[in-house]
Amino acid sequence: MKSKKNRKLEFFLSEVRSISDKDLALIIEMMRASHHINVARKLFSYLFPPDVEEDETMISHAQNDDVITMLFNMLASQLREALKLFWRFSESQYFQTFYKSAKNKDRATIDQLLKEIRNKDDGNSFLNKILIPVRNLMFHYQTDDDSANVIYWINKIREEEKNGKPHHQTIDFETSYFGPGFEYDSQIFSKYIFFGAEKMFSNTDSLRKLGETQTFFIDSTKIIVADLLKKENIRPREFGWILKYSHGFK
């Protein structure tokens, strides 16, 4: 039986010499961004384990609607920054040299990511319709200088309260639930969690697109890191290899 290929590589940063510190710093930031994506995916898996019944999943969706929206907003904001980072790296001479000699399948993966970034001039692209506006709004709290949107919402709600069977606001000091803040937040982001055709459950289209783009980012990072370590001739090491460097790497 053929043994499984070892995919783990252990090394010292001092062994990485074929790249400038500036370009290496960008790659390490890409690794950091990939780690953030992986951690966020864990959060989703805790909320929606893959082995539960469909009915239970739908109930969990309903019970955690605000959590899903918050996670989506955080992930969309983070992905926007990750794409900016990758675009900056793609402009480097190191990347240009790597890309020319990359395998076709690796180049195809990276092209999928670059395609999302290059769509910046398309007003209906995922980048422009979802990622950028969500990033600009996430954790940006409007103050006196830019409070017009909040005031508009306040006046809108007051007008609606003049109608029959008006909706009321709730504040629960025991659980720190502040209804007006939650409702305004939901109103801000409700239009961004839908991507594509506006239909029931179309928020899954946004989540799917988000997940696909995250995967392209992580896979592109893997490809670039693997190529760098190959250039440095860093290969899988025997168990206990670190012991001979007990006095440091010289």
pLDDT of residue 1: 41
| pLDDT recorded at residue 199 | 44
Q: pLDDT tens-digit profile of 120-144? A: 777 778 888 888 888 888 877 877 7
Per-residue pLDDT reduced to its tens digit, 92-101: 999 999 999 9
pLDDT digits (tens, 9 = 90+) for 146-174: 677 888 889 999 999 888 888 899 999 89
- Structural domain containing residue 156: 18-239
Q: What is the DSSP letter of 2?
A: P
Evaluate whether residue 248 is within a structural domain: no
Question: How far is the C-alpha of 158 from the C-alpha of 190, rounded, in Å?
Answer: 20
Q: CA torsion sign, 9 to 11 to 16 to 21? A: positive
Q: Which tops the pLDDT comparison, 13 or 7?
A: 13
Whether 32 maps to a domain, the answer reads yes
Per-residue pLDDT at 46 exceeds 70: yes
- Pairing assessment for the beta strands 171-172 and 177-178 based on DSSP bridges: antiparallel
Distance from C-alpha of 127 to C-alpha of 130, rounded to nearest angstrom: 6
The Cα–Cα gap between 16 and 230 comes to 10
Task: Identify whether 8 is part of a domain.
Answer: no
What pLDDT score was predicted for residue 224?
A: 96
Element (H, E) at 222: helix 203-231
Average pLDDT, rounded, for the chain: 84
pLDDT at position 201 over 50: no
Task: Read off the pLDDT band of 41 (50, 70, 90).
Answer: confident
Phi, psi of 171 (to 5 degrees): -130, 125
Q: Which residues contact 7 (CB under 8 A, 6 or more apart)?
A: none
Q: Is residue 72 assigned to a domain? A: yes
Strand partners, 172: 177
Cα 108 to Cα 141: distance, rounded to the nearest angstrom: 40
- 58 vs 229: CA distance, rounded Å: 44
Average pLDDT over every residue of 204-211: 80
Q: Over the stretch 15-38, which tens digit does the pLDDT of each residue have?
A: 999 999 999 999 999 999 999 999
Domain assignment of residue 250, yes or no: no
- pLDDT cut 70: percent of the chain above it: 84
What is the number of structural domains in the chain?
1
Selected residue with higher pLDDT from 4 and 184: 184
Q: What is the pTM of this model?
A: 0.81
Q: What is the pLDDT of residue 34?
A: 95
CA distance 131 to 77: 6
pLDDT for 227 equals 94
- Whether 247 maps to a domain, the answer reads no
Residue 244 lies in a domain: no
Residue 163 structure tokens: 């109608």
User: Residue 2 above 90 pLDDT?
Assistant: no
Is 206's pLDDT higher than 80?
no
Would 249 be classed as within a structural domain?
A: no
